[in-house]
Amino acid sequence: MGLLGKSEKLIELLQSIDAAARCDVRILLEGESGTGKELVARAVHQLSSRSENKFVAIDCGAIQPNLVESELFGHIKGAFTGAAIDRKGLFEEANGGTLFMDEINNLPVDMQAKLLRVLQDEEIRPVGSNHTRKVNVRIITASSSSIQKLVAENKFREDLFYRLNVYPIYVPPLKERIEDIPLLADHFLKKFSLEQNKEIEGFHEEVLDFIKQRRWAGNIRELENFIERLVTLTTKNQKIIDRKILPLELQKELKKSKKDLPNIPATKSLNESLTDYEEELIRTTLKNCNWNQSKAAQILNISEHDIRYKMAKLKIKRPN
């Protein structure tokens, strides 16, 4: 349920989904792994005029290159060793509906040319057949890598990119949706508590703070797996997930994260406290990187432009 939240980034995403559902054009979803791109594709399909027909999904990176053509376009009996019967491909399975092609960046180059022809002619030719078949399918593709960058590196066909990139949608990572984390964590807690017949009511405040502060490289997928693990480790009669439930290595991580917080007086306003913390964090990171702004920006997960702007705003200067 990655489409749960109230952050500005999620609201922008939901608006894009709504707009995309109202037109019947090809969509390219780009975003980090685990951000919920298939959920976005399903949402577009369910809100579109094709919702009464099938939504079919394929992971282009999970199929052996020599089987991709048969998987997409089908084959006739005797087309190759093991082809004992005629078989429909995913394009025909999705006819009238939506075909979601995840990790399109992994599609072999020879298949890119064949897919381009299908998009141009709106017809497929099953492997081994001399006849084409008309198809009416909406294509939604997704990639965790920048397709534009792959085009520049000659690893993806430019003409196919333009065909797929009619309506681009960016799916933001969890680090850009911090305020959604408590809602997502609570949703997953309820989901897994129900599945495991447990009556867990919530998280202890320090555990929830730890979850919010943690860097989720695997995004929503990693957060979901983490919450499932915590629920599994919780005893039947326990109502609140506290630090004792955390595996030992995470208890140490929590202890360290609390130790790393600066000692800010409680007399200051929230904005003043946050500004002080931001200044101290940037200054300490720059010192640790020997004032190399590029390295510091990388560690802080911000752009070099942002770190220069913040240094100027907070009057942070390298000592003489």
Per-domain residue ranges of the chain? 8-172, 177-259, 270-313
User: What mean pLDDT is predicted for residues 149-160?
Assistant: 95
pLDDT at 285 over 90: no
pLDDT at 141 over 70: yes
Burial class (CB in 10 A: 0-12, 13-18, 19+), 64: exposed
Q: Is-contact 60 15, C-beta < 8 A?
A: no
In this predicted structure, what is the pLDDT of residue 247? 80
In this predicted structure, what is the pLDDT of residue 242? 92
pLDDT at 259 over 60: no
User: What mean pLDDT is predicted for residues 36-56?
Assistant: 97
User: What mean pLDDT is predicted for residues 106-115?
Assistant: 94
177-259: what CATH class?
Answer: mainly alpha
User: What mean pLDDT is predicted for residues 115-122?
Assistant: 96
- 72-89 pLDDT, tens digit per residue, is 999 888 878 888 888 899
- Under the banding of pLDDT at 50, 70 and 90, the label for residue 14 is very high
Helix axis angle, 270-288 relative to 304-313, nearest 10°?
120
Provide the percentage of residues in the chain whose pLDDT is more than 70.
94
pLDDT at 272 over 90: no
Task: Provide the token pair at 320.
Answer: 């003489």
Q: Look at phi and psi of residue 45 and say left if phi exceeds 0, alpha if psi is from -120 to 50, else beta.
A: alpha
Q: What are the CA-CA distances from residue 296 to residues 32, 71, 258, 286, 313 (Å)?
A: 22, 46, 21, 6, 17
Distance CA 84, CA 77 (A): 5
In this predicted structure, what is the pLDDT of residue 266? 58
Distance CA 256, CA 204 (A): 17
The hierarchical CATH code for the domain 8-172 is: 3.40.50.300
- 182-221 pLDDT, tens digit per residue, is 999 999 999 999 999 999 999 999 899 889 888 899 999 9
Q: Is-contact 67 205, C-beta < 8 A?
A: no
- Under the banding of pLDDT at 50, 70 and 90, the label for residue 2 is low
270-313: in CATH 3.40.50? no
For 48, list phi and psi in degrees, rounded to 5: -95, 175
In this predicted structure, what is the pLDDT of residue 101? 98
- Under the banding of pLDDT at 50, 70 and 90, the label for residue 46 is very high
Q: What is the pTM of this model?
A: 0.76
- Average pLDDT in the chain: 90
Which of 120-129, 158-167, 233-242, 266-275 tops mean pLDDT? 158-167
